[in-house]
Amino acid sequence: MICFRNMEYCVTSRIESIRVLVNEMLQTMDSSVEKSNACVYLYGVSTFASMLAMKRGQNSELAAIAGLLHHYYFYKTGIAEFPGPNSSEAVRPLIRDIKIFSNEERMIILQAIFYQDDRKQIHGPYEEIIKDAIVLQMFFQTTGSQTYHLDAHRLQNVLDELAIPCEFEVSRIDKASIPEDTGDRRRKLADISEALAGKNIIGIPGDEQYREICMYWPDTGIYKILRGSWCAAFVYHCCRQAGILLPIRYPNGIYRFAGVGAWLEWARLPETGFFHIDGQEGFSPQRGDIVIYEKLLSENSHDHIGIILACDEKEILVAEGNRDNMNYSSVFRRKRYHCILGYIRIDNDYQFNFNGYLQSDFLVE
């Protein structure tokens, strides 16, 4: 038995609680075939993770739970990019709110999920267990298929560890190595935002465009949560459509990108340096920049956001979701020097790449 906060939980009951969460999520999938494949994959990774943890002297329960949750975001939203950061962020509030894990246990689970796709690097024991479990499940679930070159060495090592004699074919091309044509993504961002905002999207579930803006955020009741405050979610959606891809929350960030604060803190990072002030060092707003307003609609800092379409000496033409917190999108003009904190100019060749370490506060808040 495990004693936790004056309550006792059988090991099986904690795993069962997570299974309930996962199964409830899987029931929302439309395709029975996809649902079946998801069950096979998640439970397979969980089983392999539990086995590897037992063999390596680690906690098999925590490994099994991390395995069950590691692809949660993808099966919840259908979005494949950044499976580690996004699934870690999606399940963070879930395992916090059920209150059956200590802070240390939550950190173990979330870190194992976060680093799952970083298979070139060596991390902690649970991170490596999940990576190895994924490779094993992918190999055994699709026996006879080629193994990506990136995973070949890892697969061979874990097969040797388990004393499983096996030969496999290695693919000459790694999915991750295929170059991406970035083009002028700021121009695309402006074009896309102008077209979308001009449709006068209304922030209600009945509006298909609004549902698409909300689809990245895995929270229950997200339509209601974002209603009247979806300006940043609109920017995130437009960025994704333009090929500017970011996880739903930047690692160690305070906010998700559904909030203006996330854009500000991300743009000010040393590794980005995308934040600019009008007139400083010759900076002038251009089409495709992102504008962050300051106390425009409230007494709060960075309280609104939009995308620049044009700029002259006195005015900026902007595309905004949730214009003036009135719950609809619009293309219109604002005064250039009124209540503006600054601008974000994203490099056209920017690619998300996090090589740092996760802070405990980020994981267990």
pLDDT digits (tens, 9 = 90+) for 292-326: 999 999 999 999 999 999 999 999 999 999 999 99
| Residues facing residue 334 across a β-bridge | 316
* pLDDT of 7: 36
Q: 228 — alpha (psi -120 to 50), left (phi > 0) or beta?
A: left
Residue 109 predicted with pLDDT over 80: yes
- Asked whether 262 and 253 are in contact (CB, 8 A), the reply is yes
Residue 178's pLDDT is: 43
Strand order across the 275-276 sheet: 275-276, 340-344, 290-293, 304-311, 315-320, 330-335
Whether residue 171 contacts residue 155, with contact meaning beta carbons closer than 8 Å, is answered with: no
| Most distant CA atoms of the chain, gap in Å | 72
Is the pLDDT at 328 greater than 60? The verdict is yes
pLDDT above 90: residue 51: yes
Angle, helices 125-141 vs 32-55, to 10°: value is: 130
Number of neighbours of residue 307 by Cβ within 10 angstroms: 29
- pLDDT band at 166; cut points 50, 70, 90: confident
Q: Are 29 and 75 in contact (CB under 8 A)?
A: yes
| Torsion angle (degrees, nearest 10) of CA 154, 159, 161, 163 | -170
Q: What is the mean pLDDT of the chain?
A: 91
What is the pLDDT at residue 144? Answer: 62
DSSP letter, residue 170: B
Predicted confidence band of residue 361 (pLDDT cuts 50, 70, 90): confident
- For the entire predicted model, the pTM comes to 0.91
Q: What integer pLDDT is reported at residue 1 of this predicted model?
A: 38
Cα–Cα nearest to 223, from 209, 235, 242: 209
Counting every residue, how long is the chain?
365
Write the CB contacts of 201 (distance below 8 Å, at least 6 apart in sequence): 207, 209, 210, 213, 234, 321, 328, 329
- How many CB atoms neighbour CB 54 within 10 A? 13
